[in-house]
Amino acid sequence: MVQNNVSEFMEKLIAKNPGETEFHQAVFEVYNSVMGFVDKNPKYKKARILERIAEPERMLTFRVAWVDDKGEVQVNRGYRIQMNSAIGPYKGGLRFHPTVTASVLKFLAFEQVFKNSLTTLPMGGGKGGSDFDPKGKSDNEVMAFCQKFMQELFRHIGPDTDVPAGDIGVGGREIGFLFGQYKKLRNEFTGVLTGKGLNWGGSLIRPEATGYGALYFVEEMLATRKDSLDSKIIVISGSGNVAQYACEKAHQMGGKVVTLSDSDGYIYDPEGINAQKLAFVIDLKNVKRGRIKDYATKFGCKFVAGKRPWEVKCDVALPCATQNEIDGNDAKKLVKNGCFCVGEGANMPSTPEAIEVFLGAKILYGPGKAANAGGVATSGLEMSQNSMRLGWTREEVDQRLNCIMKAIHAQCVEYGKQGNFINYVNGANIAGFIKVADAMIDQGVM
Ligand code: NDP
């Protein structure tokens, strides 16, 4: 019955949103979890909450024309998906990557709605970005693009309306250029973006928050089996913002991180990536904007070109790069090699087949909307500090982040417990859904 309802719903959704495969995948994953719950609570059906949550409140698409260093005109497409504002202003990152499409951003915005709800903070869900590729561009070109992108976006955002942040391809440099242009156009210095620089409204711990939060979540998952990260072998994908700080916290918690990757391949360092080696990665990626292969040359370890790290034997896997980076075969390989805990730093890194393998094997599987919610949670803390016009200490923000990750874990346990097993997928989806759905009912049909 539940399966039939999900299939029927998906058929209509696919017909209405043709070709948007990532968006279909994200909706299917959530509705597969919540359909049974909705069936038992007819008020959600009557208010047609499922149909309404899957329909963005507003979708903006705009041309971004800019001039490169050679004086040539370049044309990109900009987007902002304002998905749901039932529990607060739209909140979610901007992604600059050539693979960005409406489908990718709709999946991310949809996920963001439930994730933000789980954080316990008052934030709605949104996402945006462009098919612009910052890789290989000069600082001047990135600035030119960001200014032109904001020249349109500024009309649609604001500290009480929509507060974007970073995501793939959008870090501190890009947020700076975007904020500068917003301020110029509006003549207002407000908390309109998060991930800002520390001396102009940013929060301590925001750069670290997604990676640290993922590890706090993993720590909670392991504690349910009376285990910890101590001496565990950890495989991480990606080498950007999330991967870097996941690596740092995993190392601090006593684990041994043996891989990092980028879109060219992965490095395997059986000695483990310590603080000194991570400092090299951070400088390589954030300052020199180089490739992870250089790590292998520098530290004399293996670089595996064109592959992802899931073939490496590990206890814990932390996908921190991009969507659909673990397929069914990768998942089988991980489980066969003894991996018993997966914490998703990235958004939707596991395909539906991979999730089935993890749940079937009853390993600890923390989906992104729960495990990586520390980033947006700390963005929420940055918003609070901006509103109060004061800044909390590093310890204070870290402590709040830790409490939020524990609260998210507790919600997953409350709604996901199946006997001795915790189905974190169901837990996160149902807990995130209830708060948003109830707020929508309270606010009437719109
Ligand atoms: P960054 O741009 O800092 O890093 C992205 C990393 O992933 C890079 O190493 C990049 O390699 C790699 N990557 C990107 N696309 C691909 C691809 N198609 N195939 C293989 N590798 C790829 O982004 P973040 O670290 O901020 O984001 C990583 C993930 O975490 C994303 O899924 C994002 O949505 C999610 N996330 C981020 C949050 C944040 O606060 N930043 C919050 C919550 C989730 P290369 O340099 O070669 O492109």
At 3 the pLDDT is 81
State the Cα–Cα distance between residues 251 and 135, nearest whole angstrom: 29
Same-domain check for residues 90 and 172: yes
CATH of the domain at 237: 3.40.50.720
Same-domain check for residues 238 and 108: no
Domain endpoint, select from 35, 53, 71:
53
Question: pLDDT tier at 407 (50, 70, 90 boundaries)?
Answer: very high
Conformational region of residue 171, where left means phi above 0, alpha means psi within -120 to 50, and beta covers everything else: beta
Q: Give the three-state DSSP class for 312.
A: coil
* 72-129: pLDDT as tens digits: 999 999 999 999 999 999 999 999 999 999 999 999 999 999 999 999 999 999 999 9
Domain range for residue 48?
2-53
Same-domain check for residues 293 and 216: yes
* 409-434: pLDDT as tens digits: 999 999 999 999 999 999 999 999 99
Domain for residue 408, yes or no? Answer: no
Domain for residue 316, yes or no? Answer: yes
Same-domain check for residues 164 and 268: no
How far is C-alpha 222 from the chain's CA centre?
21
Q: Whose CA is nearest to atom 17 of ligand 1?
A: 263
The alpha carbons of the chain give a radius of gyration, in whole angstroms, of 21
CATH of the domain at 80: 3.40.50.10860
Q: What b-and-e string marks burial along 223-250, b requiring 16 or more CB atoms within 10 Å of the CB?
A: eeeeeebeebbbbbbbbbbbbbbbbbbb
Domain for residue 350, yes or no? Answer: yes
Q: Whose CA is nearest to atom 37 of ligand 1?
A: 167
Query: How large is the average pLDDT for residues 225-252?
Result: 98
Same-domain check for residues 292 and 347: yes
* 320-352: pLDDT as tens digits: 999 999 999 999 999 999 999 999 999 999 999
Closest ligand 1 atom to Cα of 285: 46
Domain for residue 428, yes or no? Answer: no
Same-domain check for residues 107 and 84: yes
Would you tell me how many other CB atoms lie within 10 Å of the CB of residue 421? Answer: 13
Same-domain check for residues 11 and 72: no
pLDDT surpasses 80 at 319: yes
Same-domain check for residues 346 and 361: yes
**% of the chain beyond a pLDDT of 70:** 100
Question: pLDDT tier at 1 (50, 70, 90 boundaries)?
Answer: confident
CA distances 163 to 4, 114, 381, 433, Å, are 38, 17, 12, 21
pLDDT surpasses 80 at 401: yes
Q: Which of 106, 115, 127, 369 is catalytic?
A: 127
Question: How remote is the CA of residue 125 from the centroid of ligand 1, in Å?
Answer: 19
Q: How many independent structural domains does the chain possess?
A: 3
Same-domain check for residues 232 and 294: yes
Same-domain check for residues 71 and 27: no
User: Token pair 């285990």 is at which residue?
Assistant: 227
* 140-194: pLDDT as tens digits: 999 999 999 999 999 999 999 999 999 999 999 999 999 999 999 999 999 999 9
Can you name the residues that pair with 412 across neighbouring β-strands?
none
Which residues are near ligand 1 (CB < 6 Å)? 166-169, 171, 210, 238-243, 262-263, 320-322, 345-347, 372, 375
How far is C-alpha 186 from the chain's CA centre?
29
Same-domain check for residues 362 and 331: yes
Helix 374-388 with 394-416: angle, nearest 10 deg:
130
What secondary structure letter does DSSP report for 197? -
Q: What's phi and psi for 413, nearest 5 deg?
A: -65, -45
Q: Give the three-state DSSP class for 163.
A: strand
- Whether pTM > 0.85 for this model: the answer is yes
Same-domain check for residues 48 and 63: no
State the Cα–Cα distance between residues 175 and 286, nearest whole angstrom: 14
Domain endpoint, select from 356, 371, 386:
371
127 catalytic residue (yes or no): yes
Domain for residue 441, yes or no? Answer: no
Rounded to 5°, the CA angle 251-252-255 comes to 40
Question: pLDDT tier at 2 (50, 70, 90 boundaries)?
Answer: confident
Q: Give the three-state DSSP class for 97.
A: coil
Domain endpoint, select from 323, 349, 371:
371
What lies within 8 Å, CB to CB, of 429 at 6+ separation is 29, 30, 33, 34, 114, 369
